[in-house]
Structure 1
Amino acid sequence: MAVGLGAPSRSFAAGSGGGGGGGGAGRRKKKVFLHSVPTRCLIQCRTREPATKVYAVSDLHTDYSENMAWVRGLSIDSYASSALIVAGDVAETRENFAATMKLLKDRFRRVFFVPGNHDLWLRKEKGLFLHSLEKLNALLDVCRELGVETSPAVVGDVGIIPLYSWYHQSFDKEKDVSGIRIPSIDTVCKDFYACKWRQELSPKDTSLAICFDSMNEVHRDSIEQIQQNALHIITFSHFVPRQDLCPEKRMLFYPNLPKIIGSDLLEERLRLIHGANGQPSACHVFGHTHFSWDVELDGIRYVQAPLAYPRERKRRMNGGAEWLPFCIYDGALTARLTSCRWSEYYTLNKRDPNNIDLAPWVARFYQQQR
């Protein structure tokens, strides 16, 4: 479990072949870059823009008509001088992705994006892309055409840093739930067949996590400029940087969820940016699990503001839609959210990953499956 980690275990990169290479030093030497990841230099950080609000949202999933209607319903005027962080999972198809990002760019002065897993699905693309990295390049091209930003930049006094990432199953360090029949990850996680990868990459080892993490290296100089000049820094990713940003396994209808949500490399990288002990101005926005979340851990504030699926909003799993997009910055980091059921729960209750006694609602669910 990733509790208070400043750096992941050195055993992370162990393996050979498609499994992610050798140890930490070997991993850092081998860099994987996509030709179309933006490489333009950061505009001089000392050239300040007027103070602006920064909003955050993730998991728009606009392939659902209700979610696309929500985006269309955002005010044309209210956000005209503001920036928006979009922490992945915009849409499954390139067509819907482009339509969604255009709507957002029409409403916000600046829009920032990192890809999520659904953005790279190919099952409805009719053979347009050979693999998911090719689709990623196409989505980045769309972003450039629309003026959506996928590189670090400064907005007023705040630095905004997108972090590319992918999950790996060894991210899960907690005790597994036993005594019930849990479907396999391959069965439950559509990524395993909706995404396609080059031969050397696999979702079953660390190779994808390393590949996506290496994409951040091209922005090293830009990040250093931001660290030197910005008064506040907000990093963001789609995937989860530490396991204690997800409910314990006994609380989950799918207890193996932590194996497909996060990356140790992501926490390591954002700690390099914000500092091992964090700082009052440090914030990281993430997505993917659809649980609204707002908590400070080891000096960094972690926030998830998901639109999620329509059925989840009806159950208010994400806290509803009234508070979205969430204003995370307005001259300083804004007050903590009050609509985050799970992060509030763990503020009041100590996390106990060794307790694998199923929560009542989970126990009832599996009893019904028999």
Structure 2
Amino acid sequence: MIPSRVWVISDVHIDYQENFDRLVEFAERGHLSDALIVAGDATDRLDRLQELFSVLAENFRHVLFVPGNHELWVRRSGHEDSLEKFYAIKDLCQRTGVKTEPVLMGDFQKVWLVPLLSWYDDKDQPEHSLYVEKDYAEDRTDEMWGDFIHARWPDDLDQPLAQLFADENERHLRQEFDHPIISFSHFLPRQDLIFHKDLAAALELARKFDPLPEFNFSRVAGSARIEAQLRRLGSTLHVYGHQHRNRQRCLEGVTYLSHCMGYPKERQRGHVAAEAIHPKCVWRDDTGFTL
């Protein structure tokens, strides 16, 4: 009997036809017993997102999704603001059979798949921000980051965006989970996941080799609110995306995994591994976790 499996991927950016074709090709190989987690940044076009969801839902037992920042851009959408578009995406998920709620997976061993909505805390939220100051360059992130141009939020919001999305997760956190948990978010939950070395060594390298010193990714990387929530859940594995740097680390008893497809040019340059064109299997119900 073929085991059921859990596959993960993020940042599939299907406006690149090559990325769309690779993901569809993988889906059509036969995964009717499997679950696929897509951890955000597929496209800002709802028609294209519907096309992807329809293909994936036909070929997987479960497809789970959380939006990334690109999904909430309002260009080309006709939506008044990004919050309105967020609710349109939730409606699209429901209509196409894509899950945005926890799913219990497995016929022999079992695992819970738990989505965590998220956004980032900028440096004006120091308690939760992943911000690291670059002391060697002028910060021009406000002029360079696409969200500050293409996303638009209601004027009467009275809380940080990261808190708004964290509040949406509370109903999951109140649920009782009786099996191991794979949680997933689009944004990073910890500052140390930004770097592949310790902070001091990373900053020293950046001073010498930073290709874009005026852009500070740490301002828009994620939020410690995500970390607090996955710890409350008791996650064994947490999957995230956003940075287009694929890493696996075990920190304080939790395995953190980033498996981003990224842009074709990033794969060509080796910034993203060539095998990231396909989802990664992280769990099977005959053997458990595969990492």
Task: Indicate the TM-score class for this superposition, using the shorter chain for normalisation.
Answer: 0.7 to 0.9
Quote how far apart the aligned CAs of 1:181 are. Answer: 4.2
Contact 1:71 1:103 in 2 (8 A): no
**Cα distance change, pair 273–121 in 1 and its aligned pair in 2 (3 A):** same
- Distance (Å, rounded) in 1 between the aligned partners of 2:29 and 2:22: 16
Q: TM-score, normalised by structure 2?
A: 0.86
**Cα distance change, pair 314–299 in 1 and its aligned pair in 2 (3 A):** same
For residue 112 of structure 2, give the secondary structure of its aligned residue in structure 1: strand
Runs of 4+ in 1 over 4 A off after TM superposition: none
Q: TM-score, normalised by structure 1?
A: 0.69
Q: Identity over aligned residues, as a percent?
A: 35
Query: Which of 161, 168, 192 is matched with 1:244 structurally?
Result: 192
2:5 aligned with 1:61, yes or no? no
2:257 aligned with 1:303, yes or no? yes
Identify the residue that residue 187 of structure 1 maps to in structure 2.
143
Contact 1:87 1:236 in 2 (8 A): yes
Identify the residue that residue 366 of structure 1 maps to in structure 2.
none
- Distance (Å, rounded) in 2 between the aligned partners of 1:116 and 1:236: 12
Quote how far apart the aligned CAs of 1:51 are. Answer: 5.5
Identify the residue that residue 104 of structure 1 maps to in structure 2.
56
- Distance (Å, rounded) in 1 between the aligned partners of 2:27 and 2:95: 23
Q: How many residues align?
A: 268
**Cα distance change, pair 93–323 in 1 and its aligned pair in 2 (3 A):** closer
Query: Which of 230, 233, 239 is matched with 1:273 structurally?
Result: 233
- Which amino acid is the alignment partner of residue 123 of structure 1? R
Identify the residue that residue 198 of structure 2 maps to in structure 1.
none
Contact 2:130 2:224 in 1 (8 A): no
Query: Which of 200, 203, 209 is matched with 2:156 structurally?
Result: 200
Quote how far apart the aligned CAs of 1:83 are. Answer: 0.3
Contact 2:130 2:223 in 1 (8 A): no
Quote how far apart the aligned CAs of 1:322 are. Answer: 5.4
Contact 2:246 2:260 in 1 (8 A): yes
- Which amino acid is the alignment partner of residue 246 of structure 1? I
**Cα distance change, pair 243–77 in 1 and its aligned pair in 2 (3 A):** same
Identify the residue that residue 334 of structure 1 maps to in structure 2.
290
- Which amino acid is the alignment partner of residue 296 of structure 1? C
Report which of the two structures shows the higher radius of gyration computed on alpha carbons. 1
Identify the residue that residue 99 of structure 2 maps to in structure 1.
149
**Cα distance change, pair 269–75 in 1 and its aligned pair in 2 (3 A):** closer
2:67 aligned with 1:115, yes or no? yes
2:275 aligned with 1:321, yes or no? yes
- Distance (Å, rounded) in 2 between the aligned partners of 1:254 and 1:108: 40
Query: Which of 93, 111, 115 is matched with 1:162 structurally?
Result: 115
Structure 2: which 5+ residue stretches go unaligned? 124-128, 196-201
- Distance (Å, rounded) in 1 between the aligned partners of 2:237 and 2:266: 26
Quote how far apart the aligned CAs of 1:89 are. Answer: 0.6
- Which amino acid is the alignment partner of residue 217 of structure 1? E
- Which amino acid is the alignment partner of residue 9 of structure 2? V
Identify the range of structure 1 (240-249 vs 153-162) with the bigger mean alpha-carbon deviation: 240-249
